[in-house]
Structures are given as structure tokens and as C-alpha cells.
Amino acid sequence: MEDFVLRRVKVRRIEAGPRTEVKDGCLYVDTEGLSRILCEERQILRVDVKLARPGESVRIVPVKDVVEPRCKVSGGRDPFPGVFSDPEVAGEGVTAVLDGVCVITTGKMVNFQEGLVDMTGPGAEFTTFSRKNNVVLAIEPVEGLGKHEHERVVRLAGLRAAAILGEAAREVPWDEETRISRLTLPEQIGSSPDLPRVVYVCQVIAEGLLHDNYIYGLNAQGCLPVWMTPGEVLDGSIVSGNCAAPCHKHSTYHHQNNPIVEDLLKEHGKTLNFLGVLVTPVKTALVEKVRMCTQALKMVRLLAPDGVIISEDGGGNPENDLMLLDRLLEKEGIRTVLVTDEYAGSDGASPGLADSTPEADAVVTNGNGNQRVILPPMAETIGYPECIDRITGGHAGSLRPDGSVDMEIAGIMGSTNELGLENLMTVAM
């Protein structure tokens, strides 16, 4: 089988222009044309397209999702298979990426668990999105939409905008090319027979109540664990419809750039044999947690790995899934590492996780969502600043009269991301 190829076009600047194209490292965006196309959706009343650049005095709130613009050059038609097209298999052919660009969706609040991005100041240190050239979609739906329909409309608008912008990467020279081998499982196991075999279990929240991810366009609530190649994960097969706490939710961007997958690929054939990814839904009811974890155990057993890495998605309730699967794997003699974050109180002295098990003796944490921060006023706010008092991490009075913000980093998009994409990290003491 041929390798899967990601071609990254590095974008250093972003400007409005009469047509959407990349020239000399700058993405020019036809903002009016993009708005017009998105408003063809009859449930959208208006879309204001704004540009937010690194270092600008801009605050974006409430943020719903973040998506990296891409296009399929070959091996498929849709950078998000199953969303706007048939659910073709991802991780095949060539995908072109506008590296350094994000589409951010904002607008009236759908759920209190939406986030904030500051493009400068102390808040910018907690989110990778402050370092991106952002195309921000301020979306106003028609009156009368329920929450679930509102979320769907905004999610699809963000994905559609990312696909439209991604076309600008199709014909221009790329700056960086990543090749990911596509092997059969026997070939994969035989490629490095003397190295420890590793499986990565990527949990994706699927709890309903606006806490959902989509696998090939299907709500993960309707899925059992799904085996994927690394290329599939990085090629748009998973998209976020997740309104969980912004500090640790996986946005679509996080799925597209999963750093655990990327790091395992870098070590494959050197220090370990990376077999692939088991994408495992996280449900609310105990019987469903048992169902998902025992099915995941069954599939891991068949692969006979030496070790497993499990990353959490969300917090609180999902920690039961995290510990249950860890316990099942460790009792089978499979060494397991957990990747999570914490809610340990503002002083860090409280228990950080809602569940634990003695078998969980190797845990990586990506920060404490209860850590407090003061954010200075910004010259411009895109969205609805009054939401700050009601989003996760905020409280009545978080938004001060002068425009500054007193909040927990739980409200900053990606600040304690459980894939480890951000600046916070575990330090062994």
C-alpha cells in the first residue's frame, strides 16, 4: 500500500482580499464570499468573518470549535469524510494543510462549557490558538433553534469554512511533507519485531447533552471502539461537536494534530513499534462504560501489545472509564500509561481526579483547570464578552467593568488539553 502524505503549506500572515489564495506565505481571505457561502444554509441568519492574528489585542468568546483548513489532493474528496460526502476511508492519498491557520467558530452561547481565546497577554500563553492566524466565524442562527440544532449548524459551518479555505493549499508549493506508512497489521508487527509493541487508546467523549464527537460523520454515541491507522486519526476522521469544558476538550484541531499520535510515529522503528489507535467512546451510564472498556480490552488483547497509552477526553465522569480500562489492562499484564488533566482546587491541594485505582501508577497530567488567572482588557472582543460570567471557569463578576477578566484557566480553550498539545506539563518531583 502507498504511504499517506500530509503536505503542509506554512502560512505566516493572513489578510482580507478579493479572492482566497496563498501568496508568499500570506493567506488572503475573501471574507465576504466566505460569509455568503455559509449563509446559504437556511438556518444561518448571518456570519461575520473576522481575522485575528498573533499578538493583536483581540479576545474571542465564546469559542465553540477550532478547525485546521485542509483539502484532499488525492485519495478522497472530503477532508472530513462522512460529513459532507460518503464516509470514505481517511488516511489515504495526499492531504494539503494550511499550517498556521485556524477556523474558530463563535456566536451566541449554546452551552456554558464554551471557551475563550486571547491573542495576546497572559491568557495567550495557555492556548496554542493564540499563535495561529485565525479566521473567526461569528455565526448568528435564525430564531427558534434548539440547542442541539444550534450546535449542529455552527459545527457544520466551521467544517465547511475549513474545507473552503483549505482549497487554497491545493496547487501551491508545500513547505513540509510527512509520510505515514500504510501497512497491514502483520507487516506492522513484523516491521520492528525486537521493539516493544504499543497501542494508543484515544477516548472520545460521547455522552450526549452536547458532549459528542463524530467518527466518519456518525455520532460516537452509536459506536463501539473503532480501530484506526495513525493516518486516519490525523486525516479528519474524527470531528468535535463537544461542548465539554474548554480547557480539556478535544477540538477538531486537536484530533487533526493529535500530538500523541505524532510523537509515537516519530519513535516508531526507533524505540517502539506503534501498532495503531483504538478510538473508544466515553458514555455516561455504568453499563455503557463497562461495554466500551471490555470491548476495548478484547481488541487490545488480539493485538498483544507490551504497553498501552490511554488519553482521556473530558473530566469527572470520563475518569471512571479511564480507571476502569487501566485496571482491566493492568490485570492482563499490559503496562498502561494514562494521560489526563486535573481539577485540584485553586491551591492544587484537592484530589485532582474524580476516580482512581491502585493500578494507575503511571499518570501524566497536563495541568490544573482550577488555576486562576487575571486577563487584561483587550482592544477588541469578537463574540459576546458577557458570556464570560457564565462559561466554565468563570463566575458572576469574572468580567470586570474595565474589561479585564478574573477566571480559572478551565475557561481558556485547550489550556490543559489531555492530548498534551499545550504549554503545561507534568514535572516529576
Cell 505566516 maps to which residue?
12
Q: How many CB atoms lie within 10 A of CB 10?
A: 14
Phi first, then psi: what are they for 221, rounded to 5°? -60, -25
Catalytic residue status for 243? yes
**Quick one: which of 25, 190, 10 has its CA closest to 96?**
10
Which ranges constitute the DSSP H helices of 74-129?
A: none
Active-site annotation holder among 243, 247, 293, 387: 243
Which residues face 179 on adjacent strands? 5
* 263 vs 405: CA distance, rounded Å: 35
**Quick one: which of 52, 54, 55, 42 has its CA closest to 106?**
52
Classify residue 290 by its DSSP letter.
H
265 CB burial (10 A radius; 0-12, 13-18, 19+): middle
Phi first, then psi: what are they for 111, rounded to 5°? -145, 150
Which residues face 240 on adjacent strands? 213
Q: What angle do CA 314, 109, 134 make, to 5 degrees?
A: 80
Largest Cα separation within the chain, whole Å, is 63
* 93 vs 25: CA distance, rounded Å: 25
* 157 vs 169: CA distance, rounded Å: 19
Cell 476502569 maps to which residue?
324
What are the C-alpha distances in Å from 52 to residues 106, 144, 421? 13, 30, 21
Q: How many CA atoms lie within 13 A of 123 on its CB side?
A: 32
172: enclosing H helix or E strand: none
| Inter-residue contact 176 to 10 (CB < 8 Å) | yes
* 165 vs 228: CA distance, rounded Å: 27
Q: Strands, DSSP E only, in 123-173? A: 133-141
| Inter-residue contact 399 to 393 (CB < 8 Å) | no
Active centre residues (catalytic):
243
